[in-house]
C-alpha cells in the first residue's frame, strides 16, 4: 500500500514512512493511494469477534507492507490491554434506535486513546528497528495532548511537545498534560486558541530546516495512522447492530474532522453506513460549509465543549480531496484560498459531500439541556461533546435505521459543565483520584513560531 498527498506534490510513501513523516512535504495530508474494500462476507464475519481481532482484520491491508502479521497482532494487543472495559468500545442503548458508542474507557478517558495507544506502540517498534529518534510536536484542544503524553511518556526514542491554548482546556485535561514527571514530556501553554496551535505545528512541518533538524513527527490526525485506528470502532459498532445486513448511521461530535473522516473511510471500505452526521458546537464552520455557505473561518468562541473549539478543521482537506475527484491541485488551490480567509465549495463537490454527510449545530443552552435530559430519560451522564452529538442525532434520526452517536469523552473530564447541567458531580476513576494534588510542570509561551521552535530546539533530550 502506498500513501499519497492530498495536494499531489509530495513523494509516495509506505505506511511506516507516512506514519513517521506526519505532514506531507507539499503541505498536504497523506491518504492511502487506494482504499481497500472488504467483502460483505468478511464484514459479516467480524460480528462477535473481540475488538483486537476486528482491529487486526480492518487495519491489516493498510499496514501489511510495513509490519509483520504477528508483530502487528502483538502491537494491537499491547495497545488495548490497559482499557477499562473488556469490549473496549461498548454500545449502550439510549432509546429504541439510538445507541451510544462509549469511546472513553482508555487511559486518558477520551476516544483519542484508541489511536494514540496504538501509534505509541507502532512508533516504538518502527523507531527501534530504524535506530532513530524523533521529536513529536502536537497541537491540542485538550484530549489529543493528554492521550499523546500518556502513550509516549518515558520513551527513549521520542521527545513530545504538546501545544495547548492557555486557559481554554478543562482543568482535568490540563492536569493530565502538565502532571506527568517524565523528562521527555513538555507541555506548552500557548497564548492563542487551538487553531493557532495547529497552524504553528503545520508551519513547523513546512519549515524544512527546523523539521529535518529536529526530526519532526506528528501525532495529530495529520497522521493517517491516527485516522486508521479510529476506523475500527465503526466496524465493531455497526456489525454488532447487524451490519452488513442492516444499514446504520453515525453522529459524530466534530472539530478537526478526523473522527468522522474515519467513518467515511469505513463506508468506502464497504461498511453500509447510511448517513454520517457532523455535530458541531457554536464553532460551526463545518455545519455552515455543509449547509452550502462556503468554508470561511470565523473567530473561535470558547464553549463548554472545548475540545471542539476549532474553526480550521484539518481533516476536511481529506474529504475535499475525494469530493474534488482526487484532484490534488484543486485542493492545493483551496488551501491557498483558506489562508486568505476561506473559499466556496464547487457545486459538484457539494453534491459529493452531501451524498455522505449531514450536519447540525448545537448552542450552549441546548448542550446543557441535553446533558440533563439524557440523564433523566436514559440514566446516562454524558460529557458536553457527547451531548452535542446526541442533540444533533435526535434531530437526524429516522425510524428504520439505527443511529449511533459517538460518546467521545468521559463526563469527569468536564465536571463543571456536567454539574451545571445535571447537579451531579462526575467522579474521576480511582486511578486518577489524586490528579488535583499532583505538581504541574508547564511553560507559558507566546503564539510565535520562532519562540516555539527555539524552545523546542533547546529542550530536546534535555
Ligand atoms: C471529546 C472530543 N469530542 C470530539 C472531538 C472532535 O473530534 P475530531 O477533531 O476528530 O472531529 C474531540 C477532539 O478531537 C474531542 O476531544
Ligand atoms: N480535539 C482535538 C484537536 C486535535 O485533533 P486531532 O484529532 O487532529 O489530534 C484535541 O482534543 O486535541
92: which 3 cell numbers? 449502550
Q: Measured from the CA of 144, which atom of ligand 2 is nearest?
A: 12
pLDDT confidence of residue 462: 53
Which residues are registered as beta bridge partners of 296?
342
CATH number at residue 328: 3.40.50.1100
Tell me the helix, strand and coil percentages in the chain, rounded to 5. 45, 15, 35
CA 55 to centroid of ligand 2, rounded, Å: 21
Assess if residue 458 is contained within a domain.
no
Helix (H, G, I), strand (E, B) or coil at 140: coil
Assess if residue 85 is contained within a domain.
no
pLDDT confidence of residue 110: 98
pLDDT confidence of residue 163: 98
Assess if residue 157 is contained within a domain.
no
Ligand 1 site, residue 254, Cβ cutoff 6 A: yes
Rounded alpha-carbon distances, angstroms, from residue 374 to 17, 210, 384, 395, 401: 44, 48, 11, 14, 20
In terms of Cα–Cα distance, which of 63, 3, 9 is closest to 222? 3
DSSP 90: -
Spatial contact of 136 and 158, defined as CB atoms under 8 Å apart: yes
Assess if residue 74 is contained within a domain.
no
Assess if residue 46 is contained within a domain.
no
Q: What is the mean pLDDT of residues 38-42?
A: 98
Query: What is the residue range of 230's domain?
Result: 91-106+224-422
CA 70 to centroid of ligand 1, rounded, Å: 31
Ligand 1 site, residue 303, Cβ cutoff 6 A: no
pLDDT confidence of residue 31: 98
Residue whose CA is at the smallest distance from ligand 2 atom 4: 140
Q: Is 73 a residue of the active site? A: no
Instruction: List all residues whose CB is within 6 A of at least one atom of ligand 2.
Output: 140-145, 220-221, 255-256, 258, 307, 314
Q: How far is CA 234 from the centre of its chain?
A: 14
CA dihedral 187, 193, 174, 123 (to 10 degrees): -50
Q: Measured from the CA of 308, which atom of ligand 2 is nearest?
A: 1
For the chain, the farthest-separated pair of C-alpha atoms sits apart, in whole angstroms, at 58
Spatial contact of 101 and 393, defined as CB atoms under 8 Å apart: no
Please count the structural domains in the chain: 1
Assess if residue 169 is contained within a domain.
no
CA 283 to centroid of ligand 1, rounded, Å: 13
Assess if residue 246 is contained within a domain.
yes
CA distance 222 to 23: 6
Q: Measured from the CA of 314, which atom of ligand 2 is nearest?
A: 8
pLDDT at 102 over 70: yes
pLDDT at 455 over 70: yes
Q: Which ligand is nearest to the CA of 162?
A: 2
Q: What is the mean pLDDT of residues 254-266?
A: 98
CA 373 to centroid of ligand 2, rounded, Å: 27
CA 141 to centroid of ligand 2, rounded, Å: 6
Assess if residue 403 is contained within a domain.
yes
Residue whose CA is at the smallest distance from ligand 2 atom 12: 140
pTM value?
Answer: 0.98
CA distance 180 to 149: 8
Ligand 1 site, residue 318, Cβ cutoff 6 A: no
Amino acid at each position: 500500500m502506498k500513501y499519497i498527498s492530498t495536494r499531489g506534490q509530495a513523494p509516495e510513501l509506505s505506511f511506516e514512512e507516512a506514519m513517521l513523516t506526519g505532514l506531507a512535504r507539499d503541505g498536504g495530508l497523506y491518504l492511502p493511494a487506494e482504499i481497500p474494500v472488504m467483502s460483505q462476507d468478511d464484514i459479516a464475519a467480524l460480528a462477535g469477534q473481540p475488538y483486537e481481532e476486528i482491529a487486526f482484520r480492518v487495519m491489516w491491508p493498510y499496514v501489511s507492507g510495513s509490519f509483520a502479521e504477528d508483530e502487528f497482532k502483538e502491537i494491537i494487543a499491547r495497545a488495548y490491554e490497559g482499557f477499562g472495559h473488556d469490549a473496549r468500545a461498548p454500545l449502550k442503548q439510549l432509546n429504541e434506535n439510538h445507541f451510544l458508542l462509549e469511546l472513553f474507557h482508555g487511559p486518558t478517558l477520551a476516544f483519542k486513546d484508541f489511536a494514540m495507544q496504538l501509534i505509541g506502540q507502532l512508533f516504538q517498534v518502527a523507531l527501534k528497528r530504524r535506530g532513530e529518534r524523533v521529536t513529536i510536536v502536537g497541537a491540542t484542544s485538550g484530549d489529543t495532548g493528554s492521550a499523546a503524553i500518556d502513550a509516549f511518556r518515558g520513551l527513549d526514542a521520542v521527545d513530545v511537545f504538546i501545544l495547548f491554548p492557555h486557559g481554554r482546556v478543562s482543568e482535568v485535561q490540563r492536569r493530565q498534560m502538565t502532571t506527568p514527571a517524565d523528562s521527555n514530556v513538555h507541555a506548552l501553554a500557548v497564548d492563542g486558541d487551538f487553531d493557532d496551535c495547529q497552524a504553528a505545528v503545520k508551519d513547523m512541518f513546512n519549515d524544512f530546516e527546523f523539521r529535518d533538524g529536529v526530526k519532526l513527527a506528528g501525532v495529530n490526525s495529520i497522521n493517517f495512522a491516527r485516522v486508521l485506528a479510529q476506523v475500527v470502532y465503526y466496524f465493531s459498532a455497526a456489525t454488532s447492530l447487524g451490519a452488513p445486513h442492516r444499514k446504520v448511521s453515525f453522529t459524530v461530535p466534530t472539530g478537526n474532522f478526523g473522527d468522522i473522516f474515519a467513518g467515511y473511510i469505513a463506508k468506502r471500505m464497504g461498511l453500509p453506513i447510511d448517513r454520517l452526521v457532523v455535530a458541531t458546537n457554536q464553532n460551526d464552520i463545518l455545519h455552515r460549509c455543509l449547509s452550502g455557505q462556503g468554508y470561511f473561518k470565523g473567530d473561535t468562541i470558547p464553549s463548554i465543549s472545548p475540545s471542539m473549539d476549532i474553526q480550521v478543521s484539518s481533516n476536511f482537506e481529506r474529504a475535499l480531496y475525494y469530493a474534488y475527484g482526487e484532484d490534488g491541485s484543486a485542493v492545493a488551490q483551496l488551501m491557498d484560498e483558506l489562508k486568505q480567509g476561506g473559499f466556496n465549495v464547487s457545486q459538484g463537490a457539494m453534491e459529493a459531500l452531501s451524498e455522505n454527510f449531514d450536519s447540525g449545530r448545537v448552542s450552549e443552552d441546548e448542550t446543557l439541556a441535553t446533558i440533563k435530559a439524557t440523564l433523566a430519560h436514559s440514566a446516562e451522564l454524558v460529557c458536553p461533546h457527547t451531548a452535542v452529538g446526541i442533540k444533533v442525532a435526535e434531530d437526524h434520526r429516522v425510524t428504520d435505521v439505527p443511529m449511533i452517536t459517538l460518546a467521545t469523552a468521559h463526563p469527569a473530564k468536564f465536571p463543571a459543565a456536567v454539574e451545571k447541567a445535571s447537579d451531579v458531580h462526575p467522579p474521576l476513576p480511582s486511578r486518577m483520584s489524586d490528579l488535583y494534588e499532583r505538581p504541574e510542570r508547564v511553560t507559558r509561551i507566546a503564539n510565535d513560531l520562532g519562540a516555539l521552535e527555539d524552545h523546542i530546539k533547546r529542550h530536546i533530550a534535555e
